[in-house]
Chain A
Amino acid sequence: MGWLRVIALAALILLLIPIFVLLYYGLGPLRDSAGYSILVFRSIELSLVASALAVAVDVVVFTPLAYYLARGSDRIAESLVDIPISVPHPIIGVALLILDSPITPTGKILLGLHIDFYNTILGLVLALVIMSAPIFVKSMQPYFESRESSTEEFAAGLGASRIRTLFAVVLPESFDGLTSASLVSMSRALSEFGSISIIAYYVLQYPFYGVSPASVTIYNFFSGNTAGGLNAAVTASAAMILVAIPIALAGHFVRRRPRR
């Protein structure tokens, strides 16, 4: 274990270097007040709210998919789940944009129903759902797989359908797994940039009128779209890391295994 441990820790440090660099410079030599201004905190607030809403949708809509994959043998569905996070993320933003564009039939219908994705909280949440759901599903699937199937088979024998078994038997015992998967996927949603920079560069709705998601705000500092420059970008990044890391860590520390 000696050398293995050394190599493993070295690899881990390699992964964490960017985080430490940002924390060090963002909170130290490069600290800039623009990086922890009200603009940044509103951005982080928007990202937190939108990510939490996205995860709520993940739980409601994608838990059955995770259970289906865990208890079935649908290899095709299993590989399709990964596609949204396997393609360049801006593609998802473009897809949502086209889906809701006045030049497409779907867009005409959606806009006719006053459903607008562009620069709205709905568009932002939708993009985050698509980008976080695969992580949620891939987190819940092994959790369900590790559950002993006797209880579910008992329920089925008593006449319960699979969906009823999921909601009445499995989920009441899956709080740990749901919490953990939710935190991990929320962490993923908070870090999203590619898709939301296209579909919701900023939000033009109350209570976040004119506010950009945190990742976009950091990019704006860096690119000069917002006054502050590199120093503000680094400081805002450090602030974002301080918010995101506890969520990511909590997701991993919550017990992942079923009680039985």
Chain B
Amino acid sequence: MIEVNVRAHVGDFRLSAVLEGEGVICIAGRNGSGKSTLMRVMAGFLPLDEGYVKVGGADVTRFPAEKRGMVLVNPSSFIPHLKVDSHILWGARLKHGRPSPASLSKIKQELGIDFEGKVGSLSRGMRQRVALATALVASPRAILVDEAFLGLHEKEEFIVTYGKLVKEEGIDLLFSSQDQTDGRMSDHLFVIDAGSMGPGSPDKTRSLTEHSTTV
């Protein structure tokens, strides 16, 4: 369960967001609407002016980023010099854990990771898959995916598969999208516009370029 009620600001931009949900949560909004800011506040990389961030029932508002159990994944979230398998296991090793070979193999197969090499030399889509697998194997409380599904081959299928895997591990997944119709793959959809957030509708016929409702 993720519970967020925050107010924050970055320069002149003001963020006011209330969010509660578990499982797979989608935050939809245009460029500059505050999706990344919200995620960075949740993950502990931006200070909040007031409010709280709770995950799995624990109030992590005052925790440093490394203690929150929330992994922020964006298209640049990868450790270039590591090889694929080392990368995937990196977070788990920090916690002195390691998935069984069968479990690791299953995750790699389901996420389409059938390649090797240094992560920095892979294509963007490959890197994103590896980063998402790394986050999953680290078993955090929540994974915050900031447009890291963007540009993935067979994106919708991938999100559904990834959502299934995180649920199996008891992890909450929150992902952002510029397209409100991506909410179809989520359990909860929120729309953010100009820093304000409220519930949205996964209406397949509307994209955010047409959507004008803000809360």
Interface residues of A (CB under 8 A from B): 148-151, 153-162, 164, 169, 172-173, 259-260
Q: Report B138 CB to chain A, min CB distance, Å.
A: 5
- Knowing A154-B71, A158-B90 touch, does A259 contact B79 (C-beta < 8 A)? no
- Nearest-neighbour CB distance to chain A for B213, whole angstroms, equals 31
Contacts of B81 in A (CB 8 A): 172-173
Report the interface size for chain B: residues with CB under 8 A from the other chain. 32
A158 to B131, CA, bound (A): 11
> Contact: A157 with B79, CB < 8 Å?
no
Name the residue of chain A whose CB is nearest to the CB of B95: A159
Contact of A154 among B44, B69, B78, B95 (CB under 8 A): B78
* Cβ–Cβ contact B79 & A154, under 8 A: yes
**B8 CB → nearest A CB, Å:** 16
Q: Cβ of A173 and Cβ of B71 under 8 Å apart?
A: no
Please state if A157 and B71 are interface contacts (CB–CB under 8 Å).
Answer: yes
Cα-based distance from A54 to B114 in the complex (angstroms): 47
Within the assembled complex, what's the spacing in Å between the Cα atoms of A148 and B79?
A: 12
Closest chain-B Cβ to A66's Cβ sits at a distance in Å of 20
**Do B78 and A157 have beta carbons less than 8 Å apart?**
no
- Residue of chain A at shortest CB distance from B75: A150
Task: Spell out B's residues near A (CB within 8 Å).
Answer: 40, 43-45, 64-74, 76-81, 90-91, 94-95, 120, 131, 134-135, 138, 140, 144
Q: Please, which residues of chain A bring their CB within 8 A of the CB of B94?
A: 158-160, 164
CB-based contact A157/B80 at 8 Å: no
Task: Check if B72 sits within 8 Å of A153, measured CB to CB.
Answer: yes
Q: Is the CB of A148 within 8 A of B76?
A: yes
Q: Is A154's CB under 8 angstroms from B80's CB?
A: no
Q: Which residues of B contact A151 (CB under 8 A)?
A: 76-80
Chain A residues positioned under 8 Å from B131 (CB to CB): 154
Question: Closest CB-CB distance, B175 to chain A, in whole Å?
Answer: 14
Contact between chains at A159 and B80 (CB < 8 Å): no
Task: Establish whether residues A155 and B79, one from each chain, have CB atoms under 8 Å apart when the complex forms.
Answer: yes
Inside 8 A of A260's CB, which chain B residues have their CB?
76, 80, 120
The 12 listed contacts between A and B (C-beta, < 8 Å) are: A151-B76, A151-B77, A151-B78, A151-B79, A153-B65, A153-B72, A156-B65, A156-B66, A157-B65, A157-B140, A159-B94, A169-B79
A141 to B131, CA, bound (A): 27
Complex Cα spacing A161 to B76, Å: 19
Question: Does A173 contact B135, Cβ atoms closer than 8 Å?
Answer: no
Pick the most buried of A148, A157, A159: most chain B CB atoms within 10 A of its CB: A157
Contacting pair A154 B72 (CB below 8 A) = yes
In whole angstroms, what is the CA distance A149 to B44 when docked?
A: 13
Q: Please, which residue of chain A has its CB at the minimum distance from the CB of B66?
A: A156
Give Cα distance in the complex from A259 to B81, angstroms. 12
**Shortest Cβ distance from B118 into chain A, in angstroms?**
11
Judge whether B65 and A150 touch: CB under 8 Å: no
For the complex of A and B, list the 10 residue pairs with the smallest distance between their C-beta atoms, beginning with the closest. A158-B91, A150-B76, A157-B71, A154-B77, A156-B65, A159-B94, A172-B81, A156-B66, A158-B138, A157-B72
Which of B66, B79, B134, B138 has a CB less than 8 Å from the CB of A161? Answer: B66
Q: Which residues in A have their C-beta under 8 angstroms from that of B120?
A: 259-260
Residues of A within 8 A of B64 (CB): 156
Inter-subunit contact A158/B76 (CB<8 Å): no
Q: Known pairs A154-B79, A158-B94, A173-B80. 5 more at Cβ < 8 A?
A: A153-B40, A156-B45, A164-B94, A259-B80, A260-B76
How far is A162 from B66 in the complex, measured between Cα atoms in Å?
8
